[in-house]
């Protein structure tokens, strides 16, 4: 069935295959399937991703049509040559225009190249769909691509906390097996300051519910989000919340301050005092020291992160991770406490593994503002 089949032609409101702007780095090989557009909350002060956009839920029929479009493309790719889809450079000449959506074609080629094992449901909070609608989408996905092993999405803790356990279990049964939650902080004062729209208690409840439903859980922690005044609380309260959840993954996202965020405005007016790299490292050290009884994998998988080497499995890698941060803090000479140009530039420099002594704590490059997750 091609995307222009008579069955689909009846729906004039379908505008073609869609993809949203972001996904977690760990979903780079995945098919990105947009089930909703933008963010229903959209008030977090540090987040530039969906500002100025409108939230909407895509009709189930449209999402299923996207899945069918990908199916058609995958079929066409494998008919042309069993190997054609395994190379990013699959010949453009085989693009069966005008029968297939070009965006779907590009997404399918990318997905086939990486083995068609995982799917990420976009955008910012896919669990905001009615569970029965999401289940229908998941079932259609499984029908078309039974080989898919992992289906993941972002979700807000507030949404998860109010979901029925049976609905989460049914979603797991239908194939959703990993959820990414942007905790950012477990400190109520910080959550309130950055308009996260949730509380430590709700974050814990949501995390526990996802785990109990049998899904994998990624929780995100943002060193620096409390600024100079709340950095200790940001570390200890986030660790305390995570200690109660024991997520499968703790993903570190050092605070970046892109200039199109309300938090950047607060920084400019002096309302928000941004941490230096050294203070941020002290916070990270305190956070790691405060984690207790968890068996999570620490991932530091964003290009803007400070100290990306801090990755490992707890509890066995605890000392190694702590020593990386301690070594950073012991470097001489001490770097400037703040580098004013960096906030404008998009912020932090990853400290490369091979940074020599002359590069000190900022042995990296300036990168553009970007952020990958809600
Ligand atoms: S961080 Fe997530 S919940 Fe907050 S505004 Fe951004 S996308 Fe929405």
| Residue range 288-347, pLDDT digits in tens | 999 999 999 999 988 889 999 999 999 999 999 999 999 999 988 665 544 333 333 333
pLDDT at site 231 = 98
pLDDT at site 337 = 42
Q: How far is the CA of 241 from the centre of ligand 1 (A)?
A: 19
Residue 355 pLDDT more than 50? no
| Residue range 4-20, pLDDT digits in tens | 444 455 577 998 999 99
49 CA closest ligand 1 atom index? 6
As beta bridge partners, residue 122 has 34
Percent of residues, the chain, with pLDDT higher than 70 = 81
> In angstroms, rounded to a whole number, what is the distance separating the alpha carbons of residues 196 and 257?
16
Helix or strand run (H / E) with residue 60: helix 60-80
Neighbouring residues of 171: CB distance < 8 A, sequence distance ≥ 6:
127, 131, 134, 135, 138, 213, 215
Residues in contact with ligand 1 by the CB-under-6-Å rule are: 39, 41-44, 47, 49-50, 124, 156, 182, 374
Residues 282-287, mean pLDDT to the nearest whole number:
98
Write out the two tokens for 168.
């989460």
pLDDT at site 335 = 56
> In angstroms, rounded to a whole number, what is the distance separating the alpha carbons of residues 73 and 256?
38
46 CA closest ligand 1 atom index? 1
As beta bridge partners, residue 109 has none
pLDDT at site 16 = 93
Report the residue among 20, 126, 182 best suited for mutation to probe ligand 1: largest number of ligand atoms under 8 A from its CB: 182
């Amino acid at each position: 069935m091609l995307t222009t089949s008579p069955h689909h032609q009846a729906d004039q409101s379908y505008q073609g295959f869609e993809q949203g702007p972001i996904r977690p780095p760990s979903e780079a090989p995945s098919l990105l399937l947009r089930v909703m557009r933008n963010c229903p909350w959209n008030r977090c002060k540090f987040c530039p991703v969906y500002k100025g956009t409108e939230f909407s839920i895509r009709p189930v029929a449209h999402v299923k049509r996207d899945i069918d479009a990908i199916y058609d493309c995958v079929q066409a790719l494998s008919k042309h040559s069993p190997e054609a889809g395994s190379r990013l450079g699959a010949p453009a000449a085989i693009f069966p225009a005008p029968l297939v959506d070009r965006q779907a074609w590009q997404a399918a080629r990318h997905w086939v190249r990486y083995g068609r094992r995982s799917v990420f449901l976009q955008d910012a909070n896919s669990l905001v769909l009615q569970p029965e609608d999401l289940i229908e989408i998941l079932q259609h996905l499984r029908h078309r691509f039974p080989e898919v092993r992992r289906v993941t999405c972002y979700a807000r803790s507030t949404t998860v906390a109010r979901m029925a356990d049976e609905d989460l279990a049914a979603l797991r049964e239908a194939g959703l097996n990993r959820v990414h939650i942007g905790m950012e902080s477990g400190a109520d004062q910080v959550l309130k300051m950055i308009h996260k729209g949730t509380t430590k208690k709700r974050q814990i409840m949501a995390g526990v519910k996802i785990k109990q439903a049998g899904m994998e859980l990624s929780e995100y922690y943002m060193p620096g989000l409390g600024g100079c005044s709340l950095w200790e609380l940001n570390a200890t309260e986030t660790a305390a919340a995570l200690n109660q959840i024991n997520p499968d993954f703790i993903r570190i996202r050092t605070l970046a301050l892109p200039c199109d965020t309300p938090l950047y405005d607060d920084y400019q007016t002096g309302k928000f005092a941004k941490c230096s790299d050294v203070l941020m490292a002290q916070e990270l050290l305190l956070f790691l020291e405060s984690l207790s009884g968890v068996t999570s994998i620490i991932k530091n998988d964003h290009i803007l992160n400070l100290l990306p080497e801090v990755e490992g499995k707890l509890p066995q890698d605890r000392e190694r991770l702590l020593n990386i941060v301690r070594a950073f803090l012991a470097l001489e000479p001490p770097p400037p406490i703040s580098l004013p140009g960096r906030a404008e530039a998009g912020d932090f420099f990853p400290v490369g593994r091979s940074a020599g002594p002359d590069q000190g704590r900022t042995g990296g490059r300036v990168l553009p503002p970007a952020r990958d997750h809600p």
